[in-house]
Structure 1
Amino acid sequence: MNLRRLRSFVTVAEELHFTRAAAKLFVAQQSLSKQIAQLEADLGTPLLQRTSRKVELTPAGEVFLVAAREALARFDQGVTEARRIGQGQQATLRVGFIVGAALELTTHILSEFTNRHPGVRVELHEFDFSDPTAGLAGATTDVAFIRLPSTTHGLVTTSLFTEPCVVGVSAAHPLGTRDRVRVEDLLDEPIAIGRTDDTVWRHFWSLANHRGGQRAQNLIETHSQSEEVEVVAAGMACNITPAAARRYSPHPGVRFITIDDYPGSTVAVAHRSNQLNPLVTTFVDAAKAVRDRESRIIQTIQCAPEFG
């Protein structure tokens, strides 16, 4: 069993057509068929079901396709990293985040990782509300701090903590003198929400799951946290936001009020499920180590002050 046979199998499995796969690999179809047959002989089981009309993966082929892709991705990543280091280039890990990142755990996690890999350059990339995956969806980052709930298809997530949600209202708003509200108090209010195509994200921050199937009638889309805060301060809308906004986005014209009956938002470290960069694994391990060690910080985050 060798890499050439693995690449041949993956190409055939993706094309489900020997002629197209052979053209893509720049080999003769007879040679490609022979490679697949040798691979099946090595494994002792058929990987493809061939008829005169079509090619299909067998159940064993479906399982092996996952393993073959992972093996090839890991090998290709190793080649890239070895060449980079051999040419004197510094290894780089691209870390994405949206506003707040991992809050007070952020610097601890970055320090933990750099202590484990002092020769690796960490690039930080901030993303606005339009991309809740913080660059993972477009493969512009290797690992990221993200907020859940959001769409996580194709991602592996590791939760760090969950914090309460609050509602931001202008100082002049009728609710501005209260220290607690319920979701039902907010359903008729205009809501500022980050502009994104992520339906899961939009539903959570617009209270969609509490509207009995009815669409929110008055949503004001924003591009950034600072824009959202200014909209709220001007009395144009309220916003549902993590409790950390009290510390990270204070504004003299905004009051943040605890929502009694709404679930919290989880901060997680995430990466693509097919991302096999060993630096990503180390970063996730560093994040988990900090999470488990810094229980006092997490307790402070999860037990935010009631009014601000």
Structure 2
Amino acid sequence: MIDLRQLRYFQAVAEELHFGRAAARLAIAQPALSRQIQQIEEELGTPLLRRTQRRVELLPAGALLLERSRAIQQELARTLNDVRRTGAGELGRLSLGFIHSATYGLLPSIIGRFRQLYPGIELELHEMPITVQHTALLRGTIDVGLLRVQHAPAELEVLTILSDPFVLALPAAHPLADRRLVRLRSVADDPFVMFAEQSAPLLSDRVQAMCRQAGFTPDVVQHATQIHTVVGLVGAGLGVAVVPASGRNLHPRQVRFVQIADKAEPVHVALAWRRGHETPAIRSFRKVTQDVVAGLDEA
């Protein structure tokens, strides 16, 4: 079986058309090089070179082997380079699950930076609720998830990257809309647009707990699943709402966002992947995400 070393020997002779120069180029003895070429010809069962005392000529079979040998060497070099780049997290494929609210500002910034720095990684995007991401990560359907922190299976590694505090979303005409800071109790008598418990349990539970801590039960007139839907309904005048501050990135014209004076734990945004399965591509994505978040903190 002819190996890559022998192909390299033949290529040197075929390009130099001189055994002495080829041997010097390869830093081996000329007799040893001659024996290697003879072994190749014996293996193939056909002569590759016409040898005379003055010159070496390529036969048609030799010309074909030289062409294919160059292609093999080039493909091998590309393969080795691709392997190195894959190992360095610069090449490959990455399947990302993300929550809808990440599209309000964070995700576009991450994707833009990632594609700029790692054009060799094919990025697949899948919008998924948090619990669906958990299942997809465990099954290997996605490689990494961008989600909010809530109870996750022990098989998942969860890295918090960002805190998202709650703010009060008010219709632009609301009497408190121009305030910088209000207590949640101030809107106890207002109708509320609330996150649906079944489809958005994390946000629903947090907002309900904040209202209880403030001493009232909200008068819920409408439920919704996504932050943009809740904010849109507030803008339509249906009521007030407590939403993560990332909702400000929607820039709704008929809604004002006011800081809440009550102490409340924010929701956290995180990256998640299967424990023990952080590939080089995931590490590259994590690094880009952390750099983007650090830039948001500095802005």
Whether contact under 8 Å (1:173, 1:235) holds in the other structure is no
Q: CA deviation at 1:167?
A: 1.0
Matched, 1:284 2:286: yes
Partner Cα separation in structure 1 for residue 115 and residue 268 of structure 2: 25
Alignment check: 8 A CA contact 2:195 2:203 kept: no
- Report the count of equivalent residues: 204
Identity across matched positions, percent: 26
Q: Contact 2:94 / 2:281 at 8 angstroms: preserved in 1?
A: yes
1:37-56 counterparts in 2 under 5 A? none
Matched residues in 2 for 1:156 and 1:209: separation? 28
**Contact 1:161/1:268, CA 8 A, preserved across alignment:** yes
Q: Residues 132-190 of structure 1, C-alpha deviation per residue, up to 9 Å, x if partnerless?
A: 35733344432122234x33344422222324321111123232232221122244443
Residues 1:215 and 1:279: Cα distance change in structure 2 (over 3 Å): farther
2:173 partner amino acid: A
Any unmatched runs of 5+ in structure 1? 1-81, 301-308
What is the deviation of 1:291? 4.1
**C-alpha distance in 2 between matches for 1:267 and 1:172:** 31
Structure-2 residue corresponding to 1:227:
229
Alpha-carbon separation, structure 2, partners of 1:269 and 1:146: 6
Letter in 1 for 2:232: E
| AA in 1 matched with 2:271 | V
Alignment of 1:127-166 (within 5 A): 127=128, 131-133=129-131, 135-139=133-137, 140-148=141-149, 150-154=150-154, 155-166=156-167
Equivalent-residue separation in structure 2 for 1:270 and 1:280 (angstroms): 10
Gaps of 5+ in 2: 1-82
**TM-score where L is the length of structure 2:** 0.55
Query: TM-score when scaled to structure 1?
Result: 0.54
Match of 2:267 in 1: 265
**Contact 1:183–1:259 at 8 Å: present in 2 too?**
yes
- Larger helix share, 1 or 2: 2
Structure 1 equivalent of residue 13 of structure 2: none
* Cα distance change, pair 256–103 in 1 and its aligned pair in 2 (3 A): same
- Counterpart position of 2:220: 218
Q: Secondary structure at the match of 1:244?
A: helix
Describe the SS at the equivalent of 1:173.
coil
1:94 and 1:124 in contact (8 A); partners too = yes
Q: Residues 267 and 217 from structure 1, CA distance in 2 versus in 1: closer, same or farther, beyond 3 angstroms?
A: same
> Following TM superposition, by how much is the alpha carbon of 1:122 offset from its aligned partner in structure 2, in angstroms?
0.3
Q: Counterpart of 1:299?
A: 298
Structure 1 residue 215: deviation in Å?
Answer: 6.1
- CA drift of 1:211 comes to 0.6
